[in-house]
Amino acid sequence: MDHGDGTDRPRSLRGLYGLLGADFAALSANRLLSIAVPWFVLTTTGSAAKTGLIAFCQITPYVISQALAGPLIDRIGPRRIAIAGDLVSMAAMVTAPLLYEAGALHLWVLMALMALTGTADGPAITAKAVFIPSVTRAARAPIERGTGLVTTIERTATVAGPTGAGFLVAMFGGAQALWLSAALFGAAALVVATTLSDPEPEPVEPSTTEVTGYFAQLRQGAAFLRGDGLLCAIAGMLVVTNLLDQAFMSVLLPSWARHAGYGAETVGLVVSVFAATSIVASLAAATFGSRLPRHAVYLVGFVIGGVPRFAALALSIPLWVVLAVFAVGGLGSGFVNPILAAVSFDRIPTRLLGRVRTLTNGLAWAGIPFGGLFAAAAIAVSGLTGAMIIVGACYLVATVVPGLRPEWSELRGTPAAPDAPASLTDQEQEKGAKNVRVA
């Protein structure tokens, strides 16, 4: 390979650019649906219960299919799963407005279409994540650069998707906004098909027993996750923190705004400030995250991005101070996901990425449906201020405990080398293979 004239550089970056483009399109479509479809149901039926039912029909299959898709991703390949999932989602979103214009979009039909979209979108999103190590190595970059850029895309889509949905719904109505989501899903499938190839399989230790069969491979992924203390602790932490984040977003933050005399626009402002600075931090992590100690970044990022939010709302402080706290919190939060993803990719062998990552992601989503209930119960028991303290204390414990694991001292950096991109060491691959043998 010629490194002197740089003519191979665009080709080496093609996969990374393709992954970022496909991720942005698919995630924007997902976020757009989270606004457009509930609003469409609410305005056409006037029923909050039916609105919640539609959201349930999308999110539940999304979580379940994502958790169970790992063996299929590893067996069929992430490229085919990503393309098929996005095409199915596109077809569902094309069908919905066509049926609406024909007067045949009954509630049960929309429920079925949203369930189909969730079932297809969950595996497709996770399949794209499997490409991160391979496209980052091809770009001769440290793994933190890939995870940082993907996190930046995810958070940008989280801002852009709802914003675009709000504009389209206001201008053309909820049903018409579904056309854009269909186009975005189709664009994601096209980009994956034209820019990405399945990662090359890594050599397998001769003593390692490969299992066949869907359920055996699913158990194999679970066994690997259980056998790695750090990954298991991180997965447990994500279950708790996602539950608490949902409690904060769905109940505590709106309750604080109402109690303090603010409106919905203040809630949006607070969330936007946090999201904006987290995007900046994710870009920073992509730029120089590989030079930073992962353990310190994890602890500092979570301490800054977690507990101060609850303390700021529990205290009677001016709004500008609250916004400043959330701005700093976004900076801390933006560094965490790239570091956690880098740790995960470094510790999971390529051939197990699909089944282990899908299980981890499924676990991370498992507590989200209970977040609002937990916040409501905390307020009922201790009042709003007490609930902030309870949730903040739980958040602190959940994030600090995994940070005490001894495995952090074993982590290494992943500097990019021009001729030998960073990857798993032979010793780490052997460790992963040994863990897998228990399946």
Asked if residue 212 is part of any domain, the answer here is no
Quick check: 426 pLDDT over 50?
A: no
Domain CATH for 290: 1.20.1250.20
Average pLDDT of the residues in 385-390: 93
Nearest CA to 248 among 86, 419, 392, 365?
392
Q: Exposure pattern of 296-312 as b/e (b: 16+ CB <10 Å)?
A: ebbbbbbbbbbbbbbeb
Quick check: 429 pLDDT over 60?
A: no
Q: Is 349 helix (H, G, I), strand (E, B) or coil?
A: coil
Quick check: 418 pLDDT over 50?
A: no
pLDDT at 46: 75
Residue that terminates a domain, selected from 163, 195, 227: 195
Residues 317 and 362 reside in one and the same domain: yes
Residues 255 and 390 reside in one and the same domain: yes
Residues 187 and 223 reside in one and the same domain: no
Average pLDDT in the chain: 83
Residue that terminates a domain, selected from 195, 210, 233: 195
Asked if residue 3 is part of any domain, the answer here is no
Residues 313 and 358 reside in one and the same domain: yes
Asked if residue 46 is part of any domain, the answer here is yes
Residues 391 and 248 reside in one and the same domain: yes
Average pLDDT of the residues in 33-50: 77
pLDDT at 290: 84
Nearest CA to 136 among 338, 411, 408, 291?
338
pLDDT in tens, 126-161: 999 999 999 999 988 888 899 999 989 988 887 777
CA-CA distance, 119 to 25, in Å (whole number)? 18
pLDDT at 357: 87
Asked if residue 308 is part of any domain, the answer here is yes
Question: What domain range is 34 assigned to?
Answer: 10-195
Asked if residue 143 is part of any domain, the answer here is yes
| Percent of the chain residues past pLDDT 90, beyond the cut | 33
Residues 102 and 236 reside in one and the same domain: no
Residues 185 and 276 reside in one and the same domain: no
Residues 175 and 251 reside in one and the same domain: no
Average pLDDT of the residues in 291-309: 89
Asked if residue 211 is part of any domain, the answer here is no
Q: Tally the domains of the chain.
A: 2
CB count, 10 Å around CB of 359? Answer: 23
Average pLDDT of the residues in 404-420: 60
pLDDT at 233: 92
Residue that terminates a domain, selected from 161, 195, 229: 195
Least confident piece of the model among 27-36, 262-271, 301-310: 262-271
Asked if residue 59 is part of any domain, the answer here is yes
Quick check: 436 pLDDT over 50?
A: no
pLDDT at 8: 58
Residues 240 and 362 reside in one and the same domain: yes
Asked if residue 412 is part of any domain, the answer here is no
pLDDT in tens, 202-219: 665 555 566 778 888 888
What pLDDT band is residue 388 in, cutting at 50, 70 and 90?
Answer: very high
- Whether the CB-CB separation of 338 and 144 falls below 8 Å is answered with yes
pLDDT in tens, 74-116: 889 999 999 999 999 999 999 998 998 888 888 899 999 999 9
Compare 47 and 132 and report the one with higher pLDDT.
132
Residues 129 and 228 reside in one and the same domain: no
Residue 11 class from Cβ within 10 Å (0-12 exposed, 13-18 middle, 19+ buried)?
A: exposed
Q: Exposure pattern of 96-106 as b/e (b: 16+ CB <10 Å)?
A: bbebbeeeebe
pLDDT in tens, 329-368: 999 988 898 989 889 888 888 888 888 988 888 888 888 8
Quick check: 30 pLDDT over 70?
A: yes
pLDDT at 81: 96
Quick check: 287 pLDDT over 70?
A: yes
Residues 385 and 248 reside in one and the same domain: yes
CA-CA distance, 150 to 129, in Å (whole number)? 9
**Within the chain, what is the greatest distance between any pair of CA atoms?**
67
pLDDT in tens, 212-257: 788 888 888 889 999 998 999 999 999 999 999 888 887 888 888 8
| Percent of the chain residues past pLDDT 70, beyond the cut | 87
The residues near 150 (Cβ < 8 Å, ≥ 6 apart) are 19, 20, 23, 129, 132, 338, 341
Residues 187 and 230 reside in one and the same domain: no
Quick check: 9 pLDDT over 70?
A: no
- Whether the CB-CB separation of 158 and 31 falls below 8 Å is answered with yes
Question: Side chain identity at 371, as an amino acid letter?
Answer: G
- Whether the CB-CB separation of 416 and 288 falls below 8 Å is answered with no
